[in-house]
Amino acid sequence: MLIDALLLQLGYNATLVAIGATLLGVSAGVTGTFLFLRKRALVSDAISHATLPGVCLAFILMASFGGDGRNLIGLLLGSALSASAGLWCLNWLTRNTRLAEDAAIGSVLSVFFGFGIVLLTVIQTMGVGRQAGLEGFLLGSTAGMLWADAMVIAVGGAVTLLLILLIRRPMTLVAFDPEYAAARGLPVSKIDMAVMGLVMAVTVVGLKIVGLILIVALLIIPAVTARFWTERSDHVVLLAGLFGGLSAYVGAAMSASAPNLPTGPIIVLMSFALFLISLLFAPNRGVLAAILRHFKFQRRVHLRQGLLALAQGQPIYENLTLRLLRKGGLVRADGVATDKGKASAAKALRDEHRWAVVRSDQTHEAAAALYDGLRKIESVLTCDQIAEIDRLIGGPQEVPA
Amino acid sequence: MSGEEFVPLSLTPLLIGIFAAVACALPGNFLLLRKQALIGDAISHVVLPGIVVAFLLTGAITAGPMMLGAAGAAVVAVVLIEAIRRLGRIEPGAAMGVVFTTMFAGGVLLLEQTDTSAVHLDVEHALYGNLESLIWLDAVGWSSLLDAQALAHLPVELPRMALTLLAVTLFIALFWRVLKISTFDEGFARTLGIRTNLLGLALVITAAVAAVAAFDAVGSIIVIAMFICPPAAARMMSNQLEGQVAWSVGFAVLSALLGYILAGYGPLWLGAQDAVSAAGMIATVSGVILAIAARFGPCRNRSGAPVGV
């Protein structure tokens, strides 16, 4: 059943939802990346909650003029208007008062959402009796999606992607270093507004599929996930689009394959699954990689200390050190150094002396700064320099008893 | 309006609303100053999965297990946010966004998967509560306040909310000095030997307790609004922590009172038939108060910033 769904074999509506969701996921992931890199991820929370009063007002207006209150384009227009009002309030509060951005986000989202709920109850009592569709905007509802709705989402997603393609460079610059961008003459606040405008567009387009509470997840989670895999911003953008699209596609297919699996939450949980995998297994930034790095470092320290102890004829009691030395063929089972071990130990001790010379000599200041007790001296100095240092140290001396 | 009408229909929801608002606004002051204002938002989202899991485990809608489930979910969320922030080296806002949306999605999914048609448990209820339904049917007028038999049938939310408010107030009062020091200068607090991490966690747990109790009675939207709006408005009114807390309590009470009255009677004054959502109206009123304070409050500017910039 799930295979059928993934191959778009579950009928017209399911296919429509899957394609629409994928487009939305891609554009949300790409847009969210800039928000995340700018460290303003939760602004999307305020924007999405601020859409509710607009949706309700648009419905009331359209219904009271005798039209169909559920015209998607009208509702989306209303939501865009009230989201921009919310965004304006948010910017005004952070700029003109002492409130920090998090407090401004919280107040905008709660007040707009509260007002939206007041309007929802007004609609319930208006006696129009056809308001069932509106609650779908809270958590998304894909059951009755029409061709026209899918087209709105597709066109919205495509326009968003195109705009991002056009202004991706200034947006990246502002995200990384707003002061530098301002010094270069870029209009930082306008670019910030453009990012927010794109976020708003994605939010509005996504209302129908995942709903206003969960669209935040589509904006934040793919970007955070992508950040684990690469250090390059353009790759983060591409990966975030990929992860967003993938989780939306698989999520939509899964929700179509069985009853009682609402699309929005499944998509969010899918993207969280991708996030979890990345958090654990990503190279370099992942948890597993960090643990492996730690163990590798621990082994290097133990081996080094063990060799120095061998060179100075001190007994070694530490189990891990002994095991590592034995495994490297440096000591025999009874703890006596092999020939190879003696050679390595002598080299380690000599390197230590070489480092001591390097660190006491002002002319080697740059090289000395790299000393951490583990670094090979050959990776810092040339053969000639090392030969010069060896001349200063002189030949092998007897170890003092 | 006469006592016969007011006491049974409006007195208890009004009191519950006020208690909930103040219980949330008190810890909200410290969260706001510590730049953790959105913790309230996150907690109120994750309460839903907690309640659903508690329902799945016990099979009934009873207050005790649900409160435990919700509080448990809040603690899990706080721990998860911290873990993701540290393990993944992600900024706190994004870590919060990842955790609370996922847990909320999980809650919605669980809710859809279980058969809750027999009980009153749905997402809308969780979001905006049902303050208006907490009426006191046994009351006949003001005299019922002295009538032991009628008092025995008070809605259970009222004493529970009052107790929560008492507990929150006690926490704030007992730890006032250390909270104040560690909020404004965490490094200094640590040199005095204050366990700032533990205190921060205790504050978040207190906020969670207030949120969960209020959530049970009035829904999550009031919780978020009351955590942030009254303290934020109070921040514009005073430069003293004492003054800020006092203003925020005043604003919280005012929002609850005005919001409830406007929701219940406002539409009637405008000629409409039915009341609107009290929870939403309380949030709206608190927003209006914040807007007025942000425009005219005496301390609205950042200290040191030139006026008019």
Domain holding A130: CATH number? 1.10.3470.10
Same domain, A247 and A301: no
User: Distance (Å, rounded) from C-alpha A245 to C-alpha A263?
Assistant: 14
Is residue A201 in some structural domain? Answer: yes
Mean pLDDT of B133-162: 77
Best of A33, A37, A113, A118 to mutate (most B CBs within 10 Å, chain B): A118
Listed residue (A216, A171, A234) closest to A28, CA to CA: A216
With 80 as the cut, is the pLDDT of residue B258 above it? Answer: yes
Same domain, A307 and A212: no
Look up residue B293 and give its two tokens.
């304070």
Listed residue (A10, A4, A42, A96) closest to A223, CA to CA: A42
Length of chain A: 401
**Cβ proximity of B79 and B86 under 8 Å:** no
Length of chain B: 309
CB hemisphere CA count around B180 (13 angstroms):
12
> Is A45 within 8 Å of B97 when comparing Cβ atoms?
yes
What residue of B is the nearest CA neighbor of A283? B88
Q: Which pairs count as long-range contacts for A164-170, CB under 8 Å and 24+ apart, including other chains?
A: A164/A27, A164/A30, A164/A31, A164/A34, A164/A198, A164/A237, A167/A191, A167/A194, A168/A234, A168/A237
List the single residue in A41, A100, A135 with the smallest CB-CB distance to B124. A135
**Number of domains comprising chain A:** 2
Is residue A109 in some structural domain? Answer: yes
Task: Give helix A263-281 / helix A287-311 axis angle, nearest 10°.
Answer: 10
User: Distance (Å, rounded) from C-alpha A98 to C-alpha B33?
Assistant: 11
Q: What is the pLDDT of residue A132?
A: 55
> Is B277 within 8 Å of A121 when comparing Cβ atoms?
yes
**Cβ proximity of A217 and B101 under 8 Å:** yes
> Is B41 within 8 Å of A106 when comparing Cβ atoms?
yes
> Is B106 within 8 Å of A269 when comparing Cβ atoms?
yes
Look up residue B23 and give its two tokens.
């219980």
Measured CA distances, A105 to A41, A102, B35, B191 (Å): 11, 5, 11, 33
Of A278, A304, A339, the one marking the end of a domain is A278
Three-state secondary-structure class, residue A339: helix
Three-state secondary-structure class, residue A334: coil
Which pLDDT band holds residue B224 (cuts at 50, 70, 90)? Answer: confident
List the single residue in A105, A220, A228 with the smallest CB-CB distance to B38. A105
- Ramachandran angles phi, psi of A337, nearest 5°: -70, 140
List the single residue in A105, A114, A262 with the smallest CB-CB distance to B108. A262
User: Distance (Å, rounded) from C-alpha B134 to C-alpha B145?
Assistant: 16
| Residue recorded with tokens 């969780």 | B126
pLDDT in tens, A9-33: 777 778 888 888 898 999 999 999 9
Of A278, A303, A318, the one marking the end of a domain is A278
What residue of B is the nearest CA neighbor of A217? B101
For residue B38, give how far its alpha carbon lies from the nearest alpha carbon of chain A (Å): 6
| Residue recorded with tokens 């406002």 | B266
Of A278, A301, A324, the one marking the end of a domain is A278
Chain A residues close to B38, C-beta within 8 Å = 42, 45, 102, 105-106
With 80 as the cut, is the pLDDT of residue B151 above it? Answer: no
The partner residues of A331 in beta bridges, in order of sequence, read A337
Touching A: B residues 143-162, CB under 8 Å = none
Mean pLDDT of B100-108: 91
Listed residue (B97, B92, B124) closest to B111, CA to CA: B124
What interface predicted TM-score (ipTM) does this complex get?
A: 0.90
Is residue A239 in some structural domain? Answer: yes
Mean pLDDT of A52-59: 91
Is residue A166 in some structural domain? Answer: yes
**Cβ proximity of A308 and A352 under 8 Å:** yes
Chain A residues close to B35, C-beta within 8 Å = 100, 102-103
Which pLDDT band holds residue A67 (cuts at 50, 70, 90)? Answer: confident
Same domain, A241 and A137: yes
Listed residue (A297, A335, A337) closest to A318, CA to CA: A335
pLDDT in tens, A375-388: 888 888 888 888 88
Q: What is the pLDDT of residue A187?
A: 92
| pLDDT-wise least confident of A162-166, A268-272, A390-394, B62-66 | B62-66
User: Distance (Å, rounded) from C-alpha B96 to C-alpha B84?
Assistant: 9
User: Distance (Å, rounded) from C-alpha B25 to C-alpha B225?
Assistant: 9
Chain B residues close to A287, C-beta within 8 Å = 87-88
The partner residues of A337 in beta bridges, in order of sequence, read A331
With 70 as the cut, is the pLDDT of residue B2 above it? Answer: no
For chain A, the straight-line distance linking the first and the last C-alpha, in angstroms and rounded, comes to 79
Listed residue (B58, B78, B80) closest to B69, CA to CA: B58
What share of residues in chain A are helix, strand, coil (percent, to 5)? Answer: 75, 0, 25
What residue of A is the nearest CA neighbor of B41? A106
Is residue A283 in some structural domain? Answer: no
Q: Which residue has the higher pLDDT, A149 or B169?
A: B169
User: Distance (Å, rounded) from C-alpha A87 to C-alpha A101?
Assistant: 12
User: Distance (Å, rounded) from C-alpha B135 to C-alpha B154?
Assistant: 8
Q: Which of B6-10, B88-92, B225-229 has the highest mean pLDDT?
A: B225-229
User: Distance (Å, rounded) from C-alpha B272 to C-alpha B269?
Assistant: 7
pLDDT in tens, A325-372: 998 888 888 878 888 888 999 888 888 888 888 888 888 888 888 888
pLDDT in tens, A208-260: 888 888 899 999 999 999 999 999 988 999 999 999 999 999 998 888 888 77
B251 touches chain A (CB under 8 A): no
Same domain, A346 and A232: no
With 80 as the cut, is the pLDDT of residue B61 above it? Answer: no
Same domain, A164 and A193: yes
User: Distance (Å, rounded) from C-alpha A255 to C-alpha A112?
Assistant: 30
With 50 as the cut, is the pLDDT of residue B308 above it? Answer: no
DSSP string, chain B: --HHHHIIIIIHHHHHHHHHHHHHHHHHHHHHHTT-THHHHHHHHHHHHHHHHHHHHHSS--HHHHHHHHHHHHHHHHHHHHHHHHHHT--HHHHHHHHHHHHHHHHHHHHHHS--TTSS--HHHHHH--GGG---TT--SGGGGG-HHHHTTS-THHHHHHHHHHHHHHHHHHTHHHHHHHHH-HHHHHHTT--HHHHHHHHHHHHHHHHHHHHHHH-HHHHHHHHHHHHHHHHTT-SSHHHHHHHHHHHHHHHHHHHHHHHHHHHHHTT-SS---HHHHHHHHHHHHHHHHHHH-TT-SPTTSPTT-
> Is A97 within 8 Å of B294 when comparing Cβ atoms?
yes
Q: Residue A189: which H helix or E strand, with range? A: helix A188-227
| pLDDT-wise least confident of A164-173, B17-26, B39-48 | B39-48
Q: What is the pLDDT of residue A353?
A: 87
Chain B residues close to A111, C-beta within 8 Å = 225, 229, 283-284, 286-287, 290
What residue of B is the nearest CA neighbor of A99? B232
> Is A110 within 8 Å of B287 when comparing Cβ atoms?
yes
What residue of A is the nearest CA neighbor of B300? A97
Is residue A62 in some structural domain? Answer: yes
Same domain, A82 and A205: yes
Q: What is the pLDDT of residue A258?
A: 81
For residue B156, give how far its alpha carbon lies from the nearest alpha carbon of chain A (Å): 25
User: Distance (Å, rounded) from C-alpha B206 to C-alpha B221?
Assistant: 18
User: Distance (Å, rounded) from C-alpha A130 to C-alpha B170?
Assistant: 48
> Is B102 within 8 Å of A268 when comparing Cβ atoms?
yes
User: Distance (Å, rounded) from C-alpha B267 to C-alpha B272?
Assistant: 5
Max Cα–Cα distance, chain A, nearest Å? 103
Same domain, A296 and A201: no
Q: What is the pLDDT of residue A1?
A: 65
Touching A: B residues 82-141, CB under 8 Å = 84, 87-91, 93-98, 101-102, 104-106, 108-109, 112-113, 123-124, 127-128
Output the average pLDDT for chain A.
Answer: 87
Is residue A45 in some structural domain? Answer: yes
Q: What is the pLDDT of residue B208?
A: 85
- Looking at residue A23, the DSSP 8-state letter turns out to be H
Characterise A183 by phi-psi region: left (phi > 0), alpha (psi -120 to 50), beta (else): alpha
Is residue A79 in some structural domain? Answer: yes
Chain B residues close to A266, C-beta within 8 Å = 105, 109
List the single residue in B32, B123, B277 with the smallest CB-CB distance to A139. B123
Map out the domains of chain B with their CATH numbers.
3-126+162-296 (1.10.3470.10)
User: Distance (Å, rounded) from C-alpha B100 to C-alpha B56?
Assistant: 20
Listed residue (A148, A178, A139, A129) closest to A52, CA to CA: A139
Q: What is the pLDDT of residue A84?
A: 93
> Is B94 within 8 Å of A268 when comparing Cβ atoms?
no
User: Distance (Å, rounded) from C-alpha A219 to C-alpha A26?
Assistant: 10
The separation between CA B282 and the C-alpha centre of its own chain, rounded to angstroms, equals: 12
What is the CB neighbour count within 10 angstroms for residue A171? 27
Chain A residues close to B128, C-beta within 8 Å = 117
Same domain, A153 and A14: yes
Residues sharing a CB contact under 8 Å with residue A43, sequence separation 6 or more, in sequence order = A35, A87, A90, A101, A105, A196, A199
pLDDT in tens, B272-284: 777 788 888 999 9
**Cβ proximity of A32 and A224 under 8 Å:** no
What residue of B is the nearest CA neighbor of A45? B97
Q: What is the pLDDT of residue B289?
A: 95
Same domain, A382 and A301: yes
User: Distance (Å, rounded) from C-alpha A324 to C-alpha A336?
Assistant: 14
Q: What is the pLDDT of residue B3?
A: 63
| Residue-number span of the structural domain to which A346 is assigned | 288-393
> Is A272 within 8 Å of B274 when comparing Cβ atoms?
no
Same domain, A325 and A262: no
List the single residue in A45, A135, A272 with the smallest CB-CB distance to B102. A272
Mean pLDDT of B180-191: 92
List the single residue in A105, A269, A279 with the smallest CB-CB distance to B109. A269
Same domain, A238 and A304: no
Same domain, A39 and A93: yes
Measured CA distances, B169 to A139, A191, B8, B32 (Å): 36, 45, 28, 17
